[in-house]
Amino acid sequence: MNLRADGKIAIVTGASRGIGRGIALALAEAGAHVVCAARDLAKLEAVVAEIAAAGGKAAAHVVDVSSRESIEALVTATVAAHGRVDVLVNNAGITRDTLLLRMKPADWDDVIATNLTSVFISTQAVMKPMLKQRAGSIINIGSVVGLTGNAGQANYAAAKAGLIGFSKSVAREVASRGIRVNVVTPGFIETDMTAAMPEAAKQAMLATVPLGRTGTPADIAGLVVYLASDASAYVTGQTVSVDGGFHM
């Protein structure tokens, strides 16, 4: 079994902090060259420096995943620099939480553009190099909320549920070409995204997690490294939760 990613070229969006940063560090530790992509260059450079200090390989690339041009430029630059893209981790995401009756069109549009349309664009962009290579692993970061729904997150849940249907469809289209597409659905992970949650709500949520703790970016990264590696060569079209048993 090869759980390594040696020599693989991996793009990770939203790699400047949180889960994306954890994924970038872990993929580099597994031997991949990681293209760390997000909007904040200074934060990306800090992640790249951390990877280099640990003996890994990485580069920073500024991207805005709500822009088609920006995503296409990221993939073009990666292929120009390395001649290939082996792994694409679509991790960048936002929330604009509010109850449906108060949800503004922009709350809906921004979340769908950043969390779902971006994945359509980036997946299309990596198809050409991956089809040429006859190999590739696309890993989309969904959410358990896309499986269960959540009051106040109709926009976010729709985008994350949409990711699952999208990923299964593309997985069927490209399986014969050696390209795999899977979804990782995190539960409650300690990052900036969840930091604002009131303590009482956090405790109530924790009571529903059989493993009795919140998750860390490293908890998500373990599964991502597996899905990026050849150890998962027979796994495609799957949605796998990393959520302490919250949704089973």
Q: Name the site residues for ligand NAD (rule: CB under 6 A).
A: 13-14, 16-20, 38-39, 63-66, 91-94, 114, 141, 143, 186, 188-189, 191-194
Are the C-beta atoms of residues 23 and 49 closer than 8 Å to each other? no
Q: Reduced to 3 states, what is the DSSP secondary structure of residue 146? A: helix
Instruction: Point out which residues pair with 139 in neighbouring strands.
Output: 89, 182
Spatial CA neighbour of 154 closest among 196, 107, 217, 194 = 107
What type of residue is 177? Answer: R
When the beta carbons of 124 and 133 are compared against ligand NAD, the nearer one is 124
When the beta carbons of 69 and 192 are compared against ligand NAD, the nearer one is 192
**Nearest approach, Cβ of residue 133 and ligand NAD (Å):** 25
Catalytic residue among 85, 154, 156, 187: 156
**Nearest approach, Cβ of residue 93 and ligand NAD (Å):** 2
Does residue 226 have an active-site annotation? no
Distance CA 12, CA 126 (A): 13
**Nearest approach, Cβ of residue 73 and ligand NAD (Å):** 12
From edge to edge, which strands make up the β-sheet containing 87-90?
57-62, 33-38, 9-13, 87-90, 136-141, 179-186, 239-242
Q: What is 166-218 written as a DSSP string?
A: HHHHHHHHHGGGTEEEEEEEE-SB-SHHHHTS-HHHHHHHHTT-TT-S-B-HH
The structure tokens 């809906």 sit at 108
When the beta carbons of 136 and 186 are compared against ligand NAD, the nearer one is 186
**Nearest approach, Cβ of residue 139 and ligand NAD (Å):** 11
What type of residue is 174? Answer: V
When the beta carbons of 46 and 94 are compared against ligand NAD, the nearer one is 94
**Residues labelled as active-site residues:** 156
